[in-house]
Structure 1
Amino acid sequence: MEKLSKIYIAGHRGMVGSSILRALQLKGYSNFLLKTSAELDLRNQQAVADFFAYEKPDYVFLAAAKVGGIVANNTYRADFIYENMMIQSNVIHQAYLNGVKKLLFLGSSCIYPKLAMQPLKEEYLLTGLLEPTNEPYAIAKIAGIKMCDAYREQYGCNFISVMPTNLYGPNDNYDLNNSHVLPALLRKFITAKNNGDAAVIIWGTGSPLREFLHADDLADACLYLMETHNESGLVNIGVGEDVSILDLAKMVKQIVGFEGKIITDTSKPDGTPRKLMDVSKLTNLGWKASISLDEGIKKVYEEIKDRDWSK
């Protein structure tokens, strides 16, 4: 990418898109196409076609998506498959029609089979059944990967796909009904500390293992791959290490300074026992994460510790 290239970031206000925007700005890029969902509905085929025909972006980061936690995924199944399929289909097709030089599509680690071997390798895609609770979202993301590959094969488009692990960072979602585990824990412990509560309750036994990547690391990896990687298939983006939910809760407790107890509610489900990405492909391509989990959580805590959750 050249410094004056016209770059469209779809989903620039979300956690991933905003991190990519910050990373590009730090590297001296300044010619951005940025539209909110109110300004450009990516589900609307004609609106997306008009936007691409008028603006003619050189590069596209496709970070826009309808996202949520287990409850949201399982409740709004039709919305998750329809909206994500429409968003990515419209953007990818118009990128082809309007001669975009390169597009990067962001997926999710939930694309892998529920019972896949750990750590998760890229070649495990479509080798088994998906986790039922977020299957519609996963199906949409798999379609996005295959769509990028199909346009590469048929039309010669330089479209690449990356699969991030669990993310956290600025502009995360802290809604306790549909957020992911790390932001939910941060909010719980901050609220408990402020209220003087005696304990924080976490779901399940605390034994499941999860991997966490700071959004700024993801953005750095995306820029690196946008500049260096030009192949079909997908690339996992993660840290290659995981932590138990209970140990994560203890880490958050210490960083927040909460002095009460952690109680595990074993009547609640644990979910998948382990979800760790194999990042050897990414490492071999020349990139590794640099923000440790402890350092990353401290950064996020400083950003949100004084937030008024009642608003």
Structure 2
Amino acid sequence: MNCEPLDREKKIYVAGHCGLVGSALVRCLEREGFSRIITRTHGELDLTRQADTEAFFAEEKPDYVILAAAKVGGIHANDTCPADFIMKNLQIECNVIESAYKNQVKKLLFLGSSCIYPRECSQPIREEYLLSGYLEKTNEAYALAKIAGLKMCAFYNQQYHTNYISVMPCNLYGINDNFSLENSHVLPALIRKFHEARLSGAPAVTVWGSGMPLREFLNVEDLADACLYLMDHYEGNEFFNVGSGQEIRILELAELVKRVTGYQGEVLLDPSKPDGTPRKVTDISRILSTGWRPKIDLETGIRRTYEWFCEQYEAGTFTER
């Protein structure tokens, strides 16, 4: 467990810095005094291309790597493009992890997802439940890729004595989220739906599914804080759930977003749309035992996110991928 904190003067590469998680990590690292943060946009470096990834690592020689780059999306995107989700995520993981090894990266952190766990495993979900049952079909391709990345880190540690660690966050939200109505996750989609319904005076907002599934949400700033905490304080072959430890029904979440956005209309449910996993809350005992704690409660986090979204929306620059 005990290890030396990261040297703030060394090079640290944040893969995927334009996304929700990556941008939060860059903000966190800047606040913590890292002076040599390396980033590349997808246009500058396509991590699915092995030769390009290897050339980048050989040139830059980063000391540390945080792998937040991934192809991500909500239920609709995962269910309709499974080949893209498994192929692109496996390519990114293989290229970055192998290049990190070849170029003697001192420490690497891999960002997974709580969707790696079986659809119907016991709740709250403990890390040891991995591979104990069937995955949720609507995001099976993405989950399989993330499981592979986690196992790659563990097996590289085992065979090559590397220092690679993995975290599995619950549902994330926050500044720089994807607010597309077609392929975003539930919380940013609800924020946009209710905001636009308020602006247009729409009498109702329709929420996918029965409204009954239970979900856990973590503000991305808390995740970034947890990642750096583990990079500073943990060495070993265990992986960590990172979450709030709290859960909320989708219908209750919709009512909370309705209140935050000031929408006055009705909330309707569309049970013909898929619910996904019935309940998903992580057991965060393992990371709590290290001394880390989440700090941002859900309503506060949604209010901060909505304030940022409104600024971007009015300027026509909100994130839609």
Bin of the TM-score, shorter chain as denominator length: over 0.9
Q: 2:75·2:276 contact (CA, 8 Å) conserved in 1?
A: no
Secondary structure of the 2:167 match is strand
Name the structure 2 match of 1:81: 86
Match of 1:63 among 57, 60, 68: 68
> Residue deviations 1:244-269, cap 9 Å, x none?
11111111111111111111223333
Q: Structure 1 regions of 5+ residues with no counterpart?
A: none
Q: 1:145·1:233 contact (CA, 8 Å) conserved in 2?
A: no
**Paired-residue identity, %:** 55
Look up the equivalent residue of 1:289 and give its one-letter code.
P
Secondary structure of the 1:305 match is helix
Q: 1:211·1:242 contact (CA, 8 Å) conserved in 2?
A: yes
Total equivalences in the alignment? 311
Q: Is 2:176 the partner of 1:191?
A: no
Look up the equivalent residue of 2:28 and give its one-letter code.
A
Match of 1:223 among 221, 228, 231: 228
Q: Structure 2 regions of 5+ residues with no counterpart?
A: 1-5
Q: TM-score, normalised by structure 1?
A: 0.98
What are the equivalent positions in structure 2 for 1:137-216 lying under 5 Å apart?
137-216=142-221
Name the structure 2 match of 1:2: 7
Look up the equivalent residue of 1:236 and give its one-letter code.
N
Residue 309 of structure 1: CA displacement? Answer: 9.6
Instruction: Quote the Cα distance in structure 1 between the aligned partners of 2:170 and 2:289.
Output: 18
Q: TM-score, normalised by structure 2?
A: 0.95
Q: Is 2:290 the partner of 1:288?
A: no
Instruction: Quote the Cα distance in structure 2 between the aligned partners of 1:124 and 1:272.
Output: 15
> Pairwise CA RMSD of aligned residues?
1.2
Instruction: Quote the Cα distance in structure 1 between the aligned partners of 2:272 and 2:138.
Output: 18
Q: 2:89·2:142 contact (CA, 8 Å) conserved in 1?
A: yes
What are the equivalent positions in structure 2 for 1:192-271 lying under 5 Å apart?
192-271=197-276
Match of 1:92 among 97, 109, 124: 97
Look up the equivalent residue of 2:18 and give its one-letter code.
R
Instruction: Quote the Cα distance in structure 2 between the aligned partners of 1:18 and 1:204.
Output: 31
> Residue deviations 1:176-221, cap 9 Å, x none?
1111110011001000000011111112221111000000000000
What are the equivalent positions in structure 2 for 1:2-21 lying under 5 Å apart?
2-21=7-26
Match of 1:72 among 61, 72, 77: 77
Instruction: Quote the Cα distance in structure 2 between the aligned partners of 1:73 and 1:310.
Output: 27
